[in-house]
């Protein structure tokens, strides 16, 4: 199947899975990390404009030159961010989905003031309590949100990556409940294998890579 085909198929599945059937409340984030440029060009030609990348430098190489041609491009950082990359990340991205600690929140807030770019952000929650995974523990979320508020960081919602070997639905439900508790409107959850389930649980952003582009290059 061509990438344009994949895109329309996924769009119609998103449509079908969304609560009111309009899908206006669900944004498809095309995760283009480790995908060849030719595939990215195909999906741009098919009209996709919202993209997710997990590494600042790779994203810069791919996207900084394409900004002029596609002024409506929206780039989401979906991978972990180190504080020494904050400057470049703030300059390039339109949303940071992976705020997960005070040090990073503070660095982002300061850099955004410097660059006069007030990017919306999401807090990544480690819903599975996995040691190797980034994200704040659910019980520490309230404290981090308060800290972000104090820094003036615009937190619009939560993001999670459920453990690979578990049913994702309880994780999606937990993220939704946390977002409700803290009155946050956005939920980034669901990937190629489970985005429809995530939408049923209230996702407003789904992050889809391989189902759109095919397997990644390593
Ligand atoms: C790679 C990645 C995705 C996309 O995964 P697929 O299974 O290829 O859809 C989504 N979210 C994050 C954070 C990722 O790193």
> Which pLDDT does position 191 carry in this prediction?
98
Instruction: Kindly report the average pLDDT of the chain as a whole number.
Output: 96
Query: Could you tell me which of 122, 198, 127 has the C-alpha nearest to residue 161?
Result: 127
Residue 162 pLDDT > 80: yes
* Range 137-152 average pLDDT: 98
- For the chain, what percent of residues have pLDDT higher than 70? 97
Residue 91 pLDDT > 90: yes
pTM: 0.96
* Range 136-146 average pLDDT: 98
User: Which residue's C-alpha comes closest to atom 5 of ligand 1?
Assistant: 209
Q: Is the CB of 78 under 6 A from ligand 1?
A: yes
- For the chain, what percent of residues have pLDDT higher than 90? 94
- Find the 208 Cα to ligand 1 centroid distance in Å: 6
Residue 145 pLDDT > 90: yes
Torsion over CA: 205, 206, 207, 213 (sign): negative
pLDDT band at residue 69 under the 50/70/90 scheme:
very high
- Find the 12 Cα to ligand 1 centroid distance in Å: 20
Which residues, including other chains, have CB under 8 Å from residue 5's CB and lie 6 or more apart? none
Pocket mutation for ligand 1, best pick of 10, 27, 31 (most atoms within 8 Å of C-beta): 31
> Which pLDDT does position 63 carry in this prediction?
97
């Amino acid at each position: 199947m061509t990438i344009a085909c994949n895109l329309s198929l996924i769009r119609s599945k998103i449509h079908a899975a969304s609560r009111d059937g309009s899908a206006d409340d669900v944004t498809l984030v095309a995760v283009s990390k480790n995908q060849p440029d030719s595939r990215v060009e195909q999906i741009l030609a098919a009209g996709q404009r919202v993209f997710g990348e997990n590494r600042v430098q790779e994203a810069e190489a791919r996207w900084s030159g394409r900004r002029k041609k596609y002024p409506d491009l929206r780039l989401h950082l979906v991978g972990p961010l180190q504080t020494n990359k904050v400057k470049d990340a703030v300059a390039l991205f339109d949303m940071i989905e992976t705020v997960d600690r005070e040090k990073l929140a503070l660095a982002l807030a300061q850099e955004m003031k410097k660059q006069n770019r007030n990017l919306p952000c999401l807090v990544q929650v480690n819903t599975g309590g996995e040691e190797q995974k980034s994200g704040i523990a659910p019980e520490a979320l309230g404290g981090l949100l308060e800290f972000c508020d104090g820094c003036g960081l615009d937190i619009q919602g939560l993001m999670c990556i459920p453990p690979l070997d578990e049913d994702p639905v309880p994780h999606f439900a937990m993220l939704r409940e946390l977002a409700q508790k803290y009155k946050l409107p956005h939920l980034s959850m669901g990937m190629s294998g489970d985005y429809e389930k995530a939408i049923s649980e209230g996702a407003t952003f789904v992050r889809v890579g391989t189902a759109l582009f095919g397997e990644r290059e390593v």
